[in-house]
Structure 1
């Protein structure tokens, strides 16, 4: 298992498909801020439109585009021609997937709308450093044939809605998130963060080692060995890519791994502290409070 996959597991990311929108004419639909632990997404199957974000920032939407709102930002999806009309919105709830439609001239914008649901705390490891809108043209991304095949499956499944169709597209939505993250990381525009550490192959090996064995007494030297780098080179590259020291990142990962164990509820706080490398339950509790903003006991009760 690679480090990005483990972080996604830790964040408990899963896709949820909400509605299919087939919008024609001068449509304009507003979307409010999402709740904690939710990152809305829109996958354009056909047609064109525009997404407006706060501050009048606009993103053109075309077939094959995926837009993820990592921070749940409010937004509007409207007609690309700028024509507005009071077109009634109809809802078809007769099938397993609600279909929202507007009538009017021109080819409709056909878009799947859903959410990536994640653990609010651990999800920040994945989403905190992403921009307000992660806009990826799947047609321009690497692995074109693979992405085209995935989007074609989406079109077929939501078109036919055969038994199990929602399970198929829900599972595939997570694959699209991975492709979007890869495309964004490959663009070289990411600020230093946990994600940029995961994207660098050698530093990613050190991250994976910490995730696999958080209780190990990791030092800069031993992590550098995992990355096949000298101590000085590893430390320099790690801090440049992550804006944190290896010790700070190790502590962060340990606390989120501890939160995962506490959430399961089958281990005592003392056992959890040992699992993540703390011999002193008191020291573990203080660190957990500092990083997570609450005590292990309160976190478990919550």
Structure 2
């Protein structure tokens, strides 16, 4: 079975979700967190709190079961009342997912958090497709599954069972996928990019075909037929939703696959050129240099940052 576009891209980006810890608090409390250097998620497993996010005009109430994903490097405050004097997060000893931090001697609120590691070459590609932050309400249709995942993560942290670290990582990975699904299903407008295209009922089918057979000599009319649209309407719709032209997306996807293969050093350039639909090694090398900025022979993983931006 061919991967759906989300699976294909997340596999390419080599994402790894990690539950990094959590805390309990009650009464009056406020904690200030620095801007994260990775995708950050946090969830209210019990009780409630208020999120004050840098750059936002209004505070965000969070109820039990609510989840937030922060894609932008913004500082934030979690609190019973964000107008209270906030303690810096570095004042506490964060002991990882095996032990929750006690902000004070109350346990009315239980918060858990984690982050998503992405291969540096694809981090910009992933974050550019996401809103700066998103909140999934506990009343959303997808929230029941998310709540089960959150409860299991808390249980693994509390009980210290054998294999708890691996179990927490897998649960965090599933939670991240559920966050993406909930955001796609919410109807909220995503930034132009691959995630918005994958969420589009017609363009999602096109991405699936491109990803399943990137070496095929795709023509614009074939892709338009896959979307059940005319060439002109399809080309305009694709550019508006994905932020790039259909055949440009195809080329960029091929180059992302090429970068991954070259990073692994597992395939000759001539074979890679053939597999990705180029008539010759020189044609592939020319396209690669135009998109990535260097020739395949001089490629280093850091160069993929140019493609991902």
Query: Which TM class, normalised by the smaller chain length?
Result: 0.7 to 0.9
Between the aligned partners of 1:54 and 1:145, the Cα distance in structure 2 is 29
SS at match of 1:278: coil
**1:85 offset after TM fit, Å?**
6.7
Q: Is the 8 A contact 1:15 1:171 kept in 2?
A: yes
- Which of 29, 32, 36 is the matching residue for 2:31? 29
RMSD between superposed Cα atoms in Å: 2.8
The corresponding residue for 2:162 is 163
- Deviation larger for 20-29 or 174-183: 20-29
**1:256 offset after TM fit, Å?**
0.9
Shift of the 279–34 alpha-carbon distance from structure 1 to 2, 3 Å rule, reads: farther
TM norm structure 2? 0.84
Shift of the 73–85 alpha-carbon distance from structure 1 to 2, 3 Å rule, reads: closer
User: Does 2:294 correspond to 1:268?
Assistant: no
**1:40 offset after TM fit, Å?**
1.5
Between the aligned partners of 2:183 and 2:94, the Cα distance in structure 1 is 35
Spell out, residue by residue over 1:225-272, the C-alpha distance to the aligned partner (whole angstroms, 9 max, x if none): 333444344324322322321111111111111111112111133332
Between the aligned partners of 1:92 and 1:301, the Cα distance in structure 2 is 33
Between the aligned partners of 2:286 and 2:75, the Cα distance in structure 1 is 36
TM norm structure 1? 0.85
Between the aligned partners of 1:120 and 1:98, the Cα distance in structure 2 is 29
The corresponding residue for 1:20 is 22
Q: Is the 8 A contact 2:41 2:114 kept in 1?
A: yes
**Gaps spanning 5+ residues in structure 1: where?**
none
Summarize the alignment of residues 1-302 of structure 1 with structure 2, pairs less than 5 Å apart: 1-35=3-37, 38-55=38-55, 57=57, 58-80=59-81, 82-84=83-85, 91=93, 93=95, 97-104=98-105, 107-137=107-137, 139-186=138-185, 187-300=187-300
For this pair of structures, how many residues does the alignment match?
A: 297
Between the aligned partners of 2:87 and 2:204, the Cα distance in structure 1 is 51
Shift of the 188–69 alpha-carbon distance from structure 1 to 2, 3 Å rule, reads: closer
